[in-house]
Amino acid sequence: MKKLLIGLTLAISTAGFVHAADPAAGEQKAAVCAACHGSDGISSVAQWPNLAGQHFSYLEKQMLDIRDGRREVPEMVGIIDNMSDEDLRDIAAFYAQQSANVGQAKEELAMKGRDIYRAGNIAKGIPACTACHMPNGKGNSPAAFPAVSGQHTTYTINQLNNFRSGERDNDPSAMMRTIAEKMSDSEIEAVAEYMFGLHGTNR
């Protein structure tokens, strides 16, 4: 029995080692991603997300969902279709280690979004964004809730609209769909602008 337990322990340890994410390997594998997301994970086009500094757990989940058809992103078709789980983990590890973007928001619009981000809208049943994404916008890695600080306004608006319409539906327990469907266009725009500059002009 003792030998069996030792053998199982070694097998589990070896398996963990074999499947550990490798950021260095991920940098090479992410070369195909650079055209849209930038070589360092910061996109120069506002409709594509910044990946730099995003949580490993969130990046891994989103790439798996896209590859396996649980999240439809037409622009990603053919990009990661043939990548293995290990490839995606390595890429996630690479981007997670990069320095996150710091956005400079339009202050007047951002201030309109600040109250919703910090306190929600009780009358409309909209919870505070801080509950999942934290006051500093850094998200919650264990829960795979993404960091939102410095994310492009256009990208965030598009994703909130997709959640609101149900076009995007890979959120756990429909959390984001339930929230976004209660938000107006102006609220979505203001919150997105606030998050973009959370570590820039509108702390």
pLDDT in tens, the chain (203 residues): 544 444 444 444 434 444 689 999 999 999 999 999 999 999 999 999 999 999 999 999 999 999 999 999 999 999 999 999 999 999 999 999 999 999 999 999 999 999 999 999 999 999 999 999 999 999 999 999 999 999 999 999 999 999 999 999 999 999 999 999 999 999 999 999 999 999 754 44
Q: What's the pLDDT at 199?
A: 78
- 91: amino acid identity, one letter: I
Instruction: Give a yes or no: residue 130 inside a domain.
Output: yes
Is residue 138 located within the same domain as residue 174?
yes
**What is the CATH classification number for the domain harbouring 60?**
1.10.760.10
Is residue 159 located within the same domain as residue 182?
yes
Q: What's the pLDDT at 200?
A: 53
Q: Own/partner pairs for 113-119, CB < 8 Å, 24+ apart?
A: 113/187, 113/189, 113/190, 113/191, 113/192, 113/193, 113/194, 113/195, 114/194, 114/202, 116/187, 116/190, 116/191, 116/194, 117/191, 117/194, 117/195
Indicate the residue among 58, 75, 96 that finishes a domain: 96
Domain holding 62, by residue range, is 20-96
Is residue 189 located within the same domain as residue 111?
yes
Read off the tokens for 192. 């997105």
Instruction: Give a yes or no: residue 45 inside a domain.
Output: yes
Instruction: Give a yes or no: residue 12 inside a domain.
Output: no
**Per the structure, how many domains does the chain have?**
2
Instruction: Give a yes or no: residue 62 inside a domain.
Output: yes
3-state helix, strand, coil in the chain (%, to 5): 55, 0, 40
Instruction: Give a yes or no: residue 7 inside a domain.
Output: no
